[in-house]
Structure formats: C-alpha cells, structure tokens
Amino acid sequence: MESVGDDLHPLGKVKDFAPCVTKIRAARADAVITGNWGNDLVLPIKAAKEAGLTAEIDAPIANLAGTPTMISESGADRLRAVVHWISTSTTTR
C-alpha cells in the first residue's frame, strides 16, 4: 500500500469539498481514510458522488447518530464505516 496524500482541513469551516475531491482524483487514490464526522463527512461524500469519484471512502465514525441518514444514498457503494469492536466477555471453565 502506498500513501498518495495527507491533507488536513479546518473542522467545520469547509463548505465546498469539490477541490478536495479533484485532488483525490488527480492523485489516483484507490481509497480515502477520513476521521471526519457530521457535515465534514457528509459534504465530501456528496461531492465525491457529484464528481463521479470511485475511490472507496473509509470512515471510522460514519455510524454516529444521524450520519447515515444525512449521507443517504450519496454513500451507497462509496462509504464504508470502519467500526471498532471491544468484547468484554470471557469464557470460564
């Protein structure tokens, strides 16, 4: 696996992610990993759909309350929620 970019943006300030999507496409990225949430996740997903970006988008917190509804079908076949699982159960013999 090779990294083709590492960008940060000011949280809650960007309203148009089209330039970011253009940069992702130019880098020929196969996947994007983002820690964004809320509108900072919804807006780039919608921009990716509008631009026809086919890169997979992985977001560890895409399952926060309300986010799947806000993303709606813009995330279909595009967004993967990477969710951690912690099991506290033990087996005793």
Q: Summarize pLDDT for 30-84 with one digit per residue, the tens.
A: 999 888 888 888 899 899 999 999 898 888 776 666 676 677 776 666 676 666 6
| Strand boundaries in the chain, DSSP class E | 31-33, 56-59, 79-81
Q: Length of the chain, please? A: 93
Q: Is the pTM of this model over 0.75?
A: no
Q: Domain range for residue 41?
A: 18-81
Q: How far apart, in whole angstroms, are the C-alpha atoms of residue 90 and residue 37?
A: 33
Q: How many separate domains does the chain show?
A: 1
Q: Is residue 73 part of a domain?
A: yes
Judge whether 5 lies within some domain: no
Question: Does residue 86 lie within any of the structural domains?
Answer: no
